[in-house]
Each structure stands twice: as structure tokens, then as C-alpha cells.
Amino acid sequence: MPFLQTTNRPDEWKIEQGLSGAALPVLDMTGPETKALAPQTFGPLTKDVKAIKAVGDRNTLFTRERKGWTGFVEWENYPDKKEAAHKILKSQTFPPNPEFQLGPIPASNPVLPGTHWKMWHHAIGGELTQVPEDSWETVLKEKHPDMLHLLQFPYNGEPPKRLVTSKVVTPNSLHFVRNHGGIPIINKEDYSFSLDGLVANPRSFTLDEIMDESRFPRVDKTVTMQCSGTRRIEQILSYPGQGDEVPQAPWAEGAIGTARYVGISLKKVIKACGGLVDGAKHLEFYGADTYFKDDKTMNYLVSVPWSKVKANEVLLAWEMNGEPLPRIHGFPLRVVVLGYIGARSVKWLYRIKAIMEPSRAPVQSQEYLYFPQQVGKHNLKFTDGIQIQEMPVSSAIMSPWTKQVVIHNGKIRCKGWAYSGGGRWPERVELSSDGGFNWYTVPVENLSEKRRWTWRTWHFDLPCDVEGWVEIVCRCWDNSLNTQPPDVRTAWNWGLHVTSSCHRITVYSVNKTRPATKARMDEFEKARVPFGPITVPIAFPPQTPEDYEKFWSQHDPRDAEE
Ligand SMILES: Nc1nc2c(c(=O)[nH]1)N[C@H]1C(S)=C(S)[C@@H](COP(=O)(O)O)O[C@H]1N2
Ligand SMILES: [Mo]
């Protein structure tokens, strides 16, 4: 078939309908005429080989830092190393972030490859050369084969919905993983961390010392860890925001997990160093992985206030659910901060530094910020954002799934989780099948055990009389009577953090307690035609001609008489 000459692009219709948002020109209406501004494009990759060579031998510059620590480069004590790495990264270009918010999300698993992150590691070389490949091997060794890999490297993965709440305590292989870099492989025997900065007697500790019960009493705590990016996909699907694939990984409801950790209180370790001095108010944690930002290399650094440590709410843990910490979760020692976002629970800990102000490192001061709604790419300053620490109360429905057809007898079987940060706990979970107008309380017997630092899983047969598309909504009230904002829009923010609004799913309700529905479903069964998908037209006549005529013989005609 010949085509007419057209000035439309082939994807014109998709673009006009907002289904390909990244290709949309920006409209500039500040002048008398509206101008269409072309979006940013990226040229071919470039590399100044001479400049990179001039920096020096990468194997010497970024050599193994310590015996028994594979994949670790200590950046924070070596400005010259940082400078050399910066020169190397500045002297070449790398592919931009893949678009995963304004275009279709790839159907692959891993969903996103992390191409530029792999290239950054390879570009630095030395001890980082093998890190992307080694890390993926650790994923395959330590994680459940059914994990959903959001990002291959740095590895970010969550369990599928059917497994998120299948156990109240999450098996290690199914616990979500959130990494900003590679996985350092550290020998237990060669391990130690240092505690310095504003403490009376700075020193380092081996694992044996930390585990010596005569010096440090053991703590055994069941703790829910939640990433502040949990349920981010809901914000993305309605209103995209910042789109860096690592900071803004498109998490669903599985970036939360619960485990029993064994360790000690950090407060006791600080005491063993003679306590804090000279106005120290924060503790900065150093992770042995390498993070990249703005062509710079660094270790993973964040901080928590001393008040949190003083309350014995910051642990140094070596055991997870009765096993040594898996490598992917921070072996041999990690921080576990009770009731704070996961980001503060630093894995592969190699240093703790007592400081006066919250850490100025980018993960603390430039990321994990909660911006007001009118702040974004067009105007943001880091100081506009609140540094996220305690998570607010939240919940999620793990079954059924959005767009699912549910055939039921007047009740829809639902299950999910509820959690509140800061040491608060779910007191009441409520569900609605009418978009949040009327609420049913989940009976307390249907909630898992109440604990100060953990989620509660729940299940409930939700009454639903009506048929067709219904909106099931879930919300939780915590022990301080905090509850969740009604919808995603209320709490949307540029960094796409803390999606704590009521969880809403739309399902198609088919209520078999209704006689007409029962009769139709019996017909489907008799004809051996599957009912789904609902968009496929009915394969047999829904009404006989005789029945149709009978109706009109007994009722008024379609049109009214004068
Ligand atoms: N060293 C290091 N620690 C880290 C991270 C990291 O990338 N590097 N990610 C943090 C974030 S954002 C979260 S949500 C939790 C996740 O812990 P998990 O991977 O054990 O589930 O680890 C935190 N600790
Ligand atoms: Mo996180």
C-alpha cells in the first residue's frame, strides 16, 4: 500500500498522547510566540586516551587497599586518589541514564542493566576492574532465583509480590537488596573497622573484639528495613521526577524486609573509646563500596545523630536470621539503624567517625531528600529538602494485583504489609473496596505479632458487593494515630521518595453471589471458554433471540410517544 507524504514522525500519535513523554518538546511561552525547545541529546561517546594515560598506571593508583578486602578502594583518606579518578572520568564520556519514567519500562529481568555504572568501574580499573562481574556472581549465589532484578549493577532487587509477605520474617535469599556500588568481598579474619573523629580514644576493632560478650552485651532484634524508595513506581507512573537509575530505582512494594539481627549497640563501642568529645553530635558511617557521582569517586557515607545512638537504636550486626550476614547484605559487619530509612544502615562498614554536623557526603546531603512539591529541576537547592530519617506509616496490598479480574462470593481475599518508622507500629489496618469512602478494619487476629521495630503482615476477606472496576485501598494507623495521605499526588516529590500514600489498586470485580453473574459464569464453564482477559468479546451470544423478543413484548418500546 503506498503511503502519503507526511510531515508527522512515525510516533506522532504516541507523542501527542503523552505515551512517549521524553520526546516531547518543551514549550517556551515567555515570548509573544510559543517556541518548541528541543530536548537534551547526547552525542557519541568520547575518550581522551592521552589524558587518561597521563594520570598514571591504574593498577598502581587503585591497588588493593588491604589484604583480604577484594573490590575495596578507600577514597576518603586519599584526596590524590580521588583527584586521579576524577581526571580519568572527566577525560571521557559515558552513556546517559536510560529513560525509564517517560517511556515504556523494559520487559527484561534485570529491568535495567546499569551500563554506565559498569563502565565507570571499568574506567577506574585497578581493584574495581572485576567488581561488576563479581557482584553479579554474588547475586546469583546468594539471592532467590525468583528475585526481580530492577538493576543489575549496582544490584537492586526485590522479591515478587507473592513472596514479599509469605513469611513474617523474610528469608535472607528473598530480602530486598539496595546497592549504590559493587559488593566488596571481605575476609572475616582480615576485617576491622576504626572509630575516630571526635572521640576521646580513637581505635580500631576486629570482629572478635566486637563479638566478645564479656565486653559488649549482645543484642538480638527483629527489625524491618525499608528503603525510602519503596513503592516509587506509583509516583513514576503518575508523575515522573528525577530519573537517575540508581538514586531513583523504580521500586515496587518489595523494597522492605524483616530480619532478626544479632549484634551490639554502637553506644557501647563509643563508650569503649572513652566517649564523644568537643561537641560531637553525629556519627558518620563509611561503607567499603565505591559510589560515583558527578565524575567523582567516593565510598558510601551517611550519618545519624548521636541521640539515636545514645538511645541504643543503632546496632552493629554480624548475623541475619541465624546466619552470618550474607556478603550482599554487608558481610562481615553492617550498621542497623532501627526505624530509620535503610540508607542509614551502612553495609561493609570500615569506619565510624564522630563529627559535629550531619555528613556532608552526597548520599546524606544531596540525596534522600524530601522536597516540597513545587521544587524540582527548575529551581531546587539541596537545602530545600528534608534529610529523610524516620519513615512515616505506610502499607501495601500484595494480592490481588492492579488490573486483575477477581471472581468472588462477595468477599475479595487480600493480603499485604503495614509498617511505621521511628519505633512506632501498626495498630490498625483498614481496607476499602470503594476507593476509600467506606473502610473495613482488618481484625487484629489477621495481623502478625506487634513489635516495636517491625512491620505487621495481614490478610483479610474484604466485603465487596459491587461489580466491574473497583478501587481497593489500604491504609494503616500507627500507635501514634498517624495515618497515610489519601493519594500519590498529595505526597509527590521530585526525588520520588517516601511513597506512603494509601495503596490503591484497581481490580475488576465479578460477584458470583449475584444470580445473573453466576448464570453467565456457568455458561463460560459449559462452553469451556476461559473468562479472561475481560477485553476479549464474549465468544457466544449473551442472550437468545427469543429472550430478546420476549423482553420487548413485555416492556415499553425504546422511544417515547408524543
Ligand atoms: N555500604 C552501603 N551500605 C548501604 C547501601 C549501599 O549502597 N552501600 N545502601 C543503603 C540503602 S539505600 C538501603 S535501603 C539499605 C538496604 O539494605 P539491604 O540491601 O541489606 O536490604 O542498605 C543501605 N546501606
Ligand atoms: Mo534505600
- End residue of a domain, out of 338, 370, 402: 370
Q: Is the pLDDT of residue 7 over 90?
A: yes
What mean pLDDT do residues 225-247 have?
96
82 and 212 part of one domain? yes
The number of the ligand nearest the C-alpha atom of 288 reads 1
The number of the ligand nearest the C-alpha atom of 302 reads 1
For ligand 1, the distance from its centroid to the CA atom of residue 399, given in whole angstroms, is 27
88 and 166 part of one domain? yes
Which of 76, 144, 179 to mutate for ligand 1's pocket (most ligand atoms within 8 Å of CB)? 179
Tally the domains of the chain.
3
Q: Model pTM?
A: 0.96
Q: Is residue 171 part of a domain?
A: yes
For ligand 2, the distance from its centroid to the CA atom of residue 328, given in whole angstroms, is 14
Q: Is residue 102 part of a domain?
A: yes
Which structural domain range is residue 527 located in? 515-554
For ligand 2, the distance from its centroid to the CA atom of residue 298, given in whole angstroms, is 18
For ligand 2, the distance from its centroid to the CA atom of residue 90, given in whole angstroms, is 28
248 and 275 part of one domain? yes
Beta bridge partners of 349: 287
318 and 413 part of one domain? no
8 A C-beta contact, residue 308 and residue 282: no
For ligand 1, the distance from its centroid to the CA atom of residue 178, given in whole angstroms, is 5
8 A C-beta contact, residue 457 and residue 449: no
520 and 503 part of one domain? no
Q: What is the CATH number of the domain that holds 256?
A: 3.90.420.10
Q: What is the per-residue pLDDT across 327-358, written as a single tens digit (0 to 9) for each? A: 999 999 999 999 999 999 999 999 999 999 99
Residue 545 identity: P
Question: Which protein residues are within 6 Å of ligand 1, measured from CB?
Answer: 175-180, 225, 227, 287, 289, 300, 329, 342-343, 345-348
For ligand 1, the distance from its centroid to the CA atom of residue 450, given in whole angstroms, is 25
Cα 223 to chain centroid distance, Å, stands at: 17
Q: Is the pLDDT of residue 3 over 80?
A: no
pLDDT for the residue numbered 110? 96
Q: Is residue 506 part of a domain?
A: yes
Q: Is residue 453 part of a domain?
A: yes
Q: State which ligand 1 atom lies nearest to the alpha carbon of 329.
A: 20
122 and 250 part of one domain? yes
For ligand 1, the distance from its centroid to the CA atom of residue 94, given in whole angstroms, is 25
Which of 144, 291, 345 to mutate for ligand 1's pocket (most ligand atoms within 8 Å of CB)? 345
Q: State which ligand 1 atom lies nearest to the alpha carbon of 289.
A: 1
447 and 345 part of one domain? no
Q: Is residue 308 part of a domain?
A: yes
What mean pLDDT do residues 410-417 have?
98
Q: What is the per-residue pLDDT across 169-202, written as a single tens digit (0 to 9) for each? A: 999 999 999 999 999 999 999 999 999 999 999 9
349 and 408 part of one domain? no
Secondary structure, 3-state, 254-303: CCEEEEEEEEEEHHHHHHHCCCECCCCCEEEEEEEEEEEECCEEEEEEEE
8 A C-beta contact, residue 249 and residue 229: yes
532 and 487 part of one domain? no
- For residue 148, the surrounding DSSP H or E stretch is strand 148-151
323 and 424 part of one domain? no
Q: Which three cell numbers stand for residue 419?
A: 509498617
The DSSP code sequence of 64-88 is --STTEET----TT-HHHHHHHHHH
The number of the ligand nearest the C-alpha atom of 299 reads 1
Query: CA of 350: how far to CAs of 156, 164, 241, 262, 391, in Å?
Result: 22, 31, 34, 18, 26
271 and 347 part of one domain? yes
Q: Is residue 155 part of a domain?
A: yes
Nearest CA to ligand 1 atom 18: 177
For ligand 1, the distance from its centroid to the CA atom of residue 382, given in whole angstroms, is 22
Burial of residue 473 (CB within 10 Å: 0-12, 13-18, 19+) is buried
**How far apart are the C-alpha atoms of 392 and 398, rounded to whole Å?**
19
Nearest to 155 by CA among 205, 117, 108, 99: 117
What mean pLDDT do residues 463-488 have?
98
Q: Is residue 82 part of a domain?
A: yes
441 three-class SS: strand
pLDDT for the residue numbered 102? 87
For ligand 1, the distance from its centroid to the CA atom of residue 347, given in whole angstroms, is 6
Percent of the chain scoring above 70 in pLDDT: 99
Nearest to 455 by CA among 422, 417, 489, 491: 417
pLDDT for the residue numbered 20? 86
283 and 414 part of one domain? no
Q: State which ligand 1 atom lies nearest to the alpha carbon of 179.
A: 7
Cα 391 to chain centroid distance, Å, stands at: 13
Cell 408524543 maps to which residue? 562
pLDDT for the residue numbered 1? 64
Q: State which ligand 1 atom lies nearest to the alpha carbon of 154.
A: 7
Nearest CA to ligand 1 atom 4: 346
Nearest to 254 by CA among 163, 327, 139, 365: 163
Q: Is residue 30 part of a domain?
A: no
Q: Is the pLDDT of residue 229 over 80?
A: yes
Q: Is the pLDDT of residue 2 over 80?
A: no
Q: Is the pLDDT of residue 21 over 90?
A: no
**How far apart are the C-alpha atoms of 252 and 164, rounded to whole Å?**
11
Which of 121, 178, 284 to mutate for ligand 1's pocket (most ligand atoms within 8 Å of CB)? 178
Nearest CA to ligand 1 atom 19: 177
User: What is the maximum alpha-carbon separation in the chain?
Assistant: 100
Q: What is the per-residue pLDDT across 99-141, written as a single tens digit (0 to 9) for each? A: 889 877 889 999 999 999 999 999 999 999 999 999 999 999 9
Q: What is the CATH number of the domain that holds 464?
A: 2.60.40.650
The DSSP code sequence of 309-364 is HHTT-EEEEEEETTEEPPGGGTTT-EEEETTB-GGGS-SSEEEEEEESSS--SHHH
**How far apart are the C-alpha atoms of 504 and 141, rounded to whole Å?**
35
